[in-house]
Chain A
Amino acid sequence: MKTARRRLGLVARNVGVPILSLVLVLVIWQLIVVGFHVASYVAPRPRAAIDSVTQNWSVLWPLVLGTIRETVYGFVVGATLGFVLGVIMAKVSFLQGLVYPVLVLSQAIPIIALAAPLVLILGFSTAPKVVIVAWIVFFPVTVNVLDGLSHVDRDLVNLAKVYGASRWRTFWQIEIPATSTPLFSGLKIGATYAVTGAIIGELAASDGSSLALYQEHANSNLNTAAVYGTTMVMTAIGISWFLLVVGVEVFATPWRRRTVARRWPWRRGRDLTDH
């Protein structure tokens, strides 16, 4: 009873408060537009922006799907690559000195400048956008994984060694779980940038239909409501992806907020084999 109430409070805080702040943003938007008599071609009312989305949903939906696909593929590729690079650099110190500057360099290149050669190589398909998203996502993952792995408690690693653990076991049983906090920090940063990367990719490497070009089109038609509406859709994709990563983190790291482990139905047999 008590825990149920506490859980309800938690849900209220974790879901209610963000929704409240969202509503607040819409209210302030509405107040500014109405209060300062902003012309509708400069900034629409929230309602008009939302309507522009719902009324054109059948046109928007495939474009949204395209953006989601680029975001997800790019994120998965980038996160995997980032993780592997981080591990390699942490484990092979001479590679760290060799590769790190190149990685930093890669992030100094303006993404727009990257698009033209990517289109030449990969054409106007999903591929160049995936590459751009991965390009943005891998870096925070690599940096955080490298940092995390370099700061695993030496005594803990030594303890595993004394027990006779192989390097492989030590890596998966000790070093990787010990790195979960920075790993997820990197993933969350990557997740926030992923959609931005996909949109930039669509702008710079799109021939026909994409969410970014839809917005450009609306903009050149002075359809400001649709411009704002599309921005809202893009933001929603970004937030959803970020929340999904946060959800995975919460699920994967129960020890951070629980004192007692969850009971899994498929592990019950294990828990009963007692006497």
Chain B
Amino acid sequence: MTDALLALREVAKSFGDTVALSPTTLEIAEGSFVAIVGPSGCGKSTLFNVIAGLLAPDAGDVLLAERDVTGTTGHVGYMLQKDLLVPWRTVEDNITMAKRLTGRVTNEDRAEARRMARAYGLGEFLRHYPSALSGGMRQRVAFMRTLMTHQRLLLLDEPFGALDAQTRLEMQQWLLQVWRDAERTVLFITHDVDESIFLADRVIVMSPRPGRVVADFPNPLARPRTVDMLTEPDFIALKGRIMHLLHGGAA
């Protein structure tokens, strides 16, 4: 029917009287990087939890590669602002955690984890426990763990929300590099409009009460993205339109 990796059809979710997500239809193309911005409480995380299968929607279907996965788990990579690394496992064992939870960690898995960690600057820390890592390093490990799920769709819920501005910018560039290498589809929630434009091919804007999609902007910026683009007219123009939707009152 479609070429989309992920398709949501009229997906809705309420908690009692709170309409967290009003019927939402959305398609995400394979290989794309899509950002979702919106004020607190507009249902972004709820949307992710429905896609991931943690929450069953009240109505609607979630299709992944044309397969109905509504209300089931085990089909996406998922990462939160909290890195959720387990303190009792080394960096290497944290990276391979998905396999440990669902099957058996093979030597190939370990080798892949090591290769990845070395390629992305954590080779020295494979045998370290997470307590020895900085916030940025921990988020990198958490992202590698997400990649090691080998899922085509990765849901990242404000993954850099807790980092300082400097580290955040480094992490954004790092993420773009890894994303290019890994050829995955990314859905990325953020409060940071700059971040959404810097990273994504498409920026989806949501509004609260009831949570819904109010705009869907294609991003005109070319790739690869550079820090200089943060001040380009195209960037500023898109940022202006998104900011207007978020804070201008017109919705």
Contact = CB atoms under 8 A, between A and B. Distances in A.
Partners in one complex: yes
Interface of A: 153, 155-156, 158-165, 169-170, 173-174, 177-178, 180, 253, 255, 258-261, 263, 270, 273-275
A161 B54 contact: yes
B76 interface: yes
B33 interface: no
A163 B132 contact: no
Nearest to B75: A164
A180 B89 CA distance: 13
B243 interface: no
B82 A258 contact: no
A101 to B, nearest CB: 32
A102 B107 CA distance: 49
Contact of B52 (A162, A177, A255, A270): A162
Given A156-B84, A161-B73, A180-B88, A261 B102 contact: no
B128 interface: yes
Residue among A153, A162, A253, A263 with most chain B CB within 10 A: A162
Nearest to A269: B107
A159 B132 contact: no
A159 B75 CA distance: 12
A275 B118 CA distance: 13
Contacts of B102: 163-165, 169
12 contacts: A162-B54, A163-B78, A163-B98, A163-B101, A164-B74, A164-B101, A165-B102, A173-B101, A253-B88, A255-B89, A259-B129, A260-B128
A245 B100 CA distance: 28
Interface residues of B, number: 31
B177 interface: no
A165 B98 CA distance: 8
Interface string B47-85: 000001110000000000000000001111010101010
Interface string B18-33: 0000000000000000
Given A270-B107, A275-B111, A165 B82 contact: no
Given A164-B73, A259-B132, A260-B128, A270 B149 contact: no
B244 interface: no
B167 interface: no
B78 A177 contact: no
A274 B78 CA distance: 27
Contact of B90 (A153, A253, A261): A261
Contacts of A180: 88
A156 B86 contact: yes
Residue among A153, A159, A273, A274 with most chain B CB within 10 A: A159
Interface string B133-147: 000000000000000
A173 B107 CA distance: 19
A259 B78 contact: no
Given A161-B54, A255-B129, 17 more contacts: A153-B82, A155-B80, A155-B82, A156-B84, A162-B52, A162-B78, A163-B74, A164-B101, A165-B102, A174-B101, A177-B86, A178-B86, A253-B88, A255-B88, A259-B129, A270-B107, A273-B111
B127 interface: yes
Contacts of A173: 97, 100-101
B131 interface: yes
Contacts of A177: 86, 88
Contact of B54 (A158, A169, A178): A158
B127 A159 contact: no
A162 B129 contact: no
A133 B91 CA distance: 41
A163 B146 CA distance: 9
B127 A260 contact: yes
B110 interface: yes
Contacts of B114: 274
